[in-house]
């Protein structure tokens, strides 16, 4: 297995705007997993989809053809041209792919460096991939190593303590609008992890009431109970907007749950009180035209990057330490992959030596009159000679200080010297 057969193809908040990313989002994870399974050459894969990225981590013995097929698959329902798709996507291969995945797991590639959600999202993506039998030896090792690398970053740096989550960035924006969040009423549309994180941050800032609106009322009740709040059905959203000061929306619905004209009617009942809307869903929940209304302040996930930048300098030093850890862990994985590449060559070397030994013993036997005991001695002697002859060449291949390029050169050299590819 060559390290160049490990790849990551995707889009994220750096390469594509939310209008593009939301077109690639897929609420039913079984759909992309089933589709990727049908792509020739996509041997092992894991599909990661969050509000800020959609990535396919995969292995392939035909990287170029498989990459093109995966890109086409990701964008097939988006009405985006092939040229634009290439522009929006990034491709990492080999060592770059490994480092990228480790950086993603450690939250070094996130909009908010140090946020903890991405590791949980990657674990969920991996769990789905394994349940659908999409991974194998290489990706299992790679992704588990990404998890342990992220754990080291968390335990050996303070990157988590100085970072903010997407939800907390939303709270920072709310404070800019209202100045003080005490006695404010918060409406959460959606009862998932993002909504829960938003509720935690808002309550610590003094918000007096939380209302949770969700399609599944049972989930809304569970979340509302945590914060002594109120649970309502999502169909009651308009009524609750009459009293809310802040709304955080993260439903993951396929279309807008609030439109311009609907909120325009609600504003009359609010008597010009400002309403702060935070749309952290991908695809977006809230109609962008809402920003055209007076006393409405609408922000989506891309707008949150402005808050993130304010905290960047505080995290840079810890991020540098984290990058060093990621690099160390990537080198360990490369060593493991290199050793995997050694196995076929060492096996072929031993196999060829054994074929030569047996051939020469068989050729010599008719000229000798050996007892059973003497024959065993001959086999033992010739085996010992072979093992001693191969000892140094195998040690030469296994030298740990070799980088990947050097190891590949040694493998090619050894196969040529001993004629291991002859006859192929």
**In this structure, are residues 75 and 24 in contact, taking their beta carbons and an 8 Å threshold?**
yes
pLDDT at site 68: 96
The share of the chain scoring above pLDDT 90, in percent, equals 50
- Model confidence at 163, pLDDT cuts 50, 70, 90, reads very low
Give every CB contact of residue 144 below 8 A, 6+ residues apart in sequence: none
Structural domains for the chain? 3-163 (3.30.460.30), 166-306 (3.40.50.720), 388-424 (no CATH)
CA 49, CA 70: separation in Å to the nearest integer? 15
Q: Is 145 helix (H, G, I), strand (E, B) or coil?
A: helix
Q: What is the pLDDT of residue 404?
A: 65
Angle between helices 95-105 and 312-364 (to 10 degrees): 140
State which H helix or E strand residue 188 sits in.
strand 185-189
pTM value > 0.85:
no
pLDDT at 77: 85
302-320 confidence digits (pLDDT tens): 887 676 666 666 677 788 8
C-alpha–C-alpha distance, residues 239 and 187, integer Å: 11
For range 121-146, the mean pLDDT: 95
pLDDT at residue 100, as a whole number: 96
Residue 7 has pLDDT above 90, yes or no: yes
- Most confident of the following: 315-319, 356-360, 418-422: 356-360
Please tell me the predicted confidence (pLDDT) of residue 197. 80
- Residue 332 has a pLDDT of 87
d(CA 232, CA 225): 12
Q: Buried b / exposed e across 47-79, counting CB within 10 Å, b at 16+?
A: bbbbbbbbbbbbbbeebeebbebbbebbbeeee
pLDDT value, residue 170: 77
SS3 percent helix, strand, coil of the chain, rounded to 5, is 60, 15, 30
C-alpha distances in Å from residue 175, one per residue of 163, 168, 182, 197, 270? 18, 11, 10, 16, 20
Averaged pLDDT, 233-239: 93
In DSSP terms, 196 is beta-bridged to none
Residue 121's contacts (CB-CB under 8 Å, 6 or more residues apart) are 48, 50
Whether the predicted pLDDT of 49 surpasses 60: yes
Can you give the pLDDT at residue 1? 61
State how far the Cα of 18 lies from the Cα of 193, in Å rounded to an integer.
20
Q: Which residues pair with 222 in a beta bridge?
A: none
pLDDT digits (tens, 9 = 90+) for 273-284: 999 999 988 889
Q: Is the dihedral of CA 29, 111, 324, 397 positive or negative?
A: positive
The predicted structure's pLDDT at residue 408: 73
> Looking up tokens 């005991």, which residue turns up?
373
Mean pLDDT over the full length of the chain: 88
**Catalytic (active site) residue 402:** no
Average pLDDT score over residue span 348-369? 88
Q: What is the DSSP letter of 41?
A: T
pLDDT surpassing 90 at residue 285: yes
Any idea of the CA torsion for 304, 309, 311, 314, to the nearest 10 degrees?
150
Residues 6+ apart with CB under 8 A from 142: 6, 57, 98, 101, 333
Confidence of residue 423 (pLDDT cuts 50, 70, 90): low
Residue 216: what are its φ and ψ, rounded to 5°? -95, 105
Catalytic residue selected from 42, 46, 51, 134:
51
Query: What integer is the mean pLDDT of 280-299?
Result: 92
Confidence of residue 400 (pLDDT cuts 50, 70, 90): low
Looking at residue 260, its pLDDT comes to 94
Q: Which of 9-13, 117-121, 189-193 has the lowest mean pLDDT?
A: 189-193
Structure tokens at 377: 């001695």
Q: What is the pLDDT of residue 388?
A: 92
């Amino acid at each position: 297995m060559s390290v160049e057969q490990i790849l990551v193809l995707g889009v994220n908040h750096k390469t594509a705007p939310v209008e593009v990313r939301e077109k690639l989002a897929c609420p039913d994870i079984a759909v992309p997993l089933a589709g990727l399974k049908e792509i020739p050459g996509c041997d092992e894969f894991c599909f990661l989809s969050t509000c800020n990225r959609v990535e396919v981590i995969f292995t392939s013995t035909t990287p170029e053809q498989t990459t093109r097929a995966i890109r086409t698959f990701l964008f097939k329902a988006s009405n985006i041209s092939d040229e634009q798709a290439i522009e929006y996507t990034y491709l990492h291969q080999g060592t770059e792919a490994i480092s990228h995945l480790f950086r993603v797991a450690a939250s070094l590639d996130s909009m908010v460096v140090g946020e903890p959600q991405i590791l949980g999202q990657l674990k969920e993506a991996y769990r789905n991939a394994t349940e659908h039998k999409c991974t194998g030896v290489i990706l299992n090792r790679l992704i588990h190593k990404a998890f342990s690398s992220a754990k080291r970053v968390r335990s050996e740096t303070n990157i988590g303590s100085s970072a903010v989550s997407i939800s907390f960035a939303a709270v920072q924006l709310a404070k800019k609008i209202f100045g003080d969040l005490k006695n404010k009423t918060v409406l959460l549309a959606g009862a998932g992890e993002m909504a829960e994180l938003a509720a935690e941050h808002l309550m610590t800032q003094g918000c007096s009431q939380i209302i949770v609106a969700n399609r599944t009322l049972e989930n809304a009740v569970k979340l509302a109970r945590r914060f002594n709040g109120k649970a309502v059905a999502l169909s009651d959203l308009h009524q609750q907007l009459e009293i809310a000061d802040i709304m955080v929306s993260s439903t993951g619905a396929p279309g807008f749950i609030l439109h311009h004209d609907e909120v325009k009617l609600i504003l009359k009942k609010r008597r010009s009180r400002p309403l702060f809307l935070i749309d952290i869903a991908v695809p977006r929940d809230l109609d962008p035209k809402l920003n055209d209304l007076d006393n409405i302040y609408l922000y989506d996930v891309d707008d949150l990057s402005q808050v993130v930048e304010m905290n960047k300098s505080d995290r840079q030093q810890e991020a540098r330490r984290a990058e060093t850890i990621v690099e160390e862990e990537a080198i360990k994985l490369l060593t493991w992959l290199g050793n995997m590449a050694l196995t076929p060559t060492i096996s072929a070397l031993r196999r060829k030596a054994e074929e030569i030994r047996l051939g020469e013993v068989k050729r010599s036997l008719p000229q000798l009159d050996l007892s059973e005991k003497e024959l065993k001695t001959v086999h033992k002697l010739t085996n010992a000679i072979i093992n001693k002859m191969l000892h140094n060449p195998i040690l030469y291949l296994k030298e740990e200080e070799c980088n990947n390029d050097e190891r590949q050169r040694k493998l090619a050299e050894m196969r040529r010297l001993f004629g291991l590819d002859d006859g192929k």
